[in-house]
Amino acid sequence: MRRKQVIISSIFLLVLPIVSTDVFAQPTQAAPKISSRYAKVFYQSDALLRLFNKRIRLGSLSYLLKRRVSEELSLKGQVSEKIDIIVERVETILEMRPKELRFDIIITPDADAVRSLYKKIYHRDVEFLAFYSPLAKAIYVSADDIKSKVLAHEIAHAVIDQYFGVAAPIKIHEILADYVTENFEE
Ligand SMILES: [Zn+2]
């Protein structure tokens, strides 16, 4: 539990309001993508997508996967469905349903890639395994480290951000996103 708390606290979002948008790298623009109801997913190889899919387990929420046997769905279809199920679960936990929720998920290979993207955007060194950028409306994750709870936490930031429509205080963001982490059943 201690260890878990440490890991979760290391993914806390840092919202720096004064960031010029031109620093946003779009390294993934040409990468393959998936469009789910809520998210566009960018990834550089099928291997990364497979790893992401393997690590995102729905557990007790699996019953929400469509009646189709999940193996019959393509890899992209599975990822797309899982993300939308997690989004709707996060919205239920928060009781916040932004009207036009849209965000990107950028799957990077590992934590180093996440951190170097963070540094490029925010000019700071961090130990994060994932983060949400309100300006880019994008969640950056490491395929090596992703878990459903981590994704739910970052999706919570996207939901909170887009529900209020103005930059919510960092503390409010973290309290609510942590509430999602605690209440999200894997
Ligand atoms: Zn956070």
- How much is the pLDDT for 159? 97
Using the predicted structure, report yes or no on whether residue 147 has a pLDDT greater than 50.
yes
Q: Which domains does the chain have, with CATH numbers?
A: 2-16+31-183 (3.40.30)
Please give the distance, rounded to the nearest whole angstrom, from the Cα atom of residue 87 to the centre of ligand 1: 15
| Structure confidence at residue 66 as a pLDDT band (50, 70, 90) | low
Residue 151 has pLDDT above 90, yes or no: yes
Question: Sorting pLDDT into bands at 50, 70 and 90, what band is 67?
Answer: low
**How far apart are alpha carbons 15 and 77 in whole angstroms?**
32
If you measure from the C-alpha of residue 10 to the centroid of ligand 1, how many angstroms do you get, rounded to a whole number? 8
For 102-124, how does the pLDDT look when each residue is reduced to its tens digit (9 = 90+)? 999 999 999 999 999 999 999 99
Tens digit of each residue's pLDDT (9 = 90 or more) over 157-167: 999 999 998 88
User: pLDDT, tens digit, for every residue of 17-64?
Assistant: 334 343 344 555 556 799 999 999 999 999 999 999 999 988 777 777
The rounded Å distance from CA 77 to ligand 1 centre is 27
Between the CA of 59 and the centroid of ligand 1 the distance, in Å, is 22
Q: How far is the CA of 173 from the centre of ligand 1 (A)?
A: 7
The per-residue pLDDT for range 76-105, each reduced to its tens digit, is: 999 999 999 999 999 999 999 999 999 999
CA of 12 to the centre of ligand 1 (A): 3
Is pLDDT of 144 > 90? yes
Give me the pLDDT at residue 65, please.
73
User: Which phi and psi (to 5°) does residue 33 adopt?
Assistant: -145, 160
Cα 9 to ligand 1 centre (Å): 7
The arrangement of strands across the sheet holding 103-108 comes to: 33-35, 39-43, 103-108, 138-142, 130-133
Mean pLDDT of the residues in the chain: 83
